[in-house]
Amino acid sequence: MITVTEKAQAKVREYMEQASEPCRGLRVRAFKLGRHTFRYDLTLVLEGEARDDDVVQELDQLTVYLDPSSAEWLEGTTVDFVSEVTGTGFKIDNPQAKVTWDDPVSQKVQEVLDARVGPALAAHGGWVELVKVDGDTAFVQLGGGCQGCGMASVTLSDGIRAAIVEGVPEIREVVDSTDHAAGNDPFYE
């Protein structure tokens, strides 16, 4: 199941009280975009919107509804409400979105992608995943707003490649293994 912190429950209850219609709880959904990349959707469940196949979790201040396909992808997830320098909002910590590699070089590349590259791409609706490391070459896949984007080659060379090569001396080359022709909603066309 999932955890919703007291702070997040209180914020959801606040939204429920402000709603124009009676609310039953919070729906949490996960959409799998890549192998380890998810997009999340948090919505209020109004009267009559609960479904028979929902996975329902009763918490202290809140009822949480998960659709069956999301339930397995959200196992162990924590939903929090945070106020940080970068903004205020719900923060989702999903252990299934955390990637670990047995190979130490691959793990270093992953850490660079998670800390330095991923947040910048997410700001434009994109994401990147490490596919594999072969010798001194890292293979990555871009998605979201980056898949099919006219600036993808610049993002790869000036952003992703530069960050990986600087952060992981064992890597000399980064190869984009993305099918850019299949992109649906690129940030720049």
Judge if pTM exceeds 0.75.
no
Domain ranges in the chain are 3-97, 104-182
Closest CA to 40 of 27, 51, 21, 49: 27
User: What confidence tens digit (pLDDT) does each residue in 20-78 have?
Assistant: 999 999 999 998 877 778 889 999 999 999 999 999 999 988 999 998 889 999 999 99
* CATH, domain 3-97, list 3.40.190.80, 2.60.40.1930, 3.20.130.10, 2.60.300.12: 2.60.300.12
3-class SS of residue 46: strand
51-58: Cβ within 8 A, 24+ apart: 54/27, 57/1, 57/2
How distant, in Å, are the alpha carbons of 68, 135, 139 from that of 54? 6, 46, 38
3-class SS of residue 49: coil
Judge whether residue 85 has pLDDT over 90: no
What's the helix, strand, coil split of the chain in %, to 5? 30, 35, 35
Element (H, E) at 9: helix 6-18
Q: Does domain 104-182 correspond to CATH entry 3.30.300.130?
A: yes
Q: How would you label 66-98 residue by residue, b for 16+ Cβ within 10 Å and e otherwise?
A: bbeebbebbeebebbbeeeeeeeebebebeebe
Q: Are 85 and 60 in contact (CB under 8 A)?
A: no
Element (H, E) at 99: none
Q: 21: burial class by Cβ within 10 Å (0-12, 13-18, 19+)?
A: exposed
User: What confidence tens digit (pLDDT) does each residue in 175-188 have?
Assistant: 887 655 555 554 44
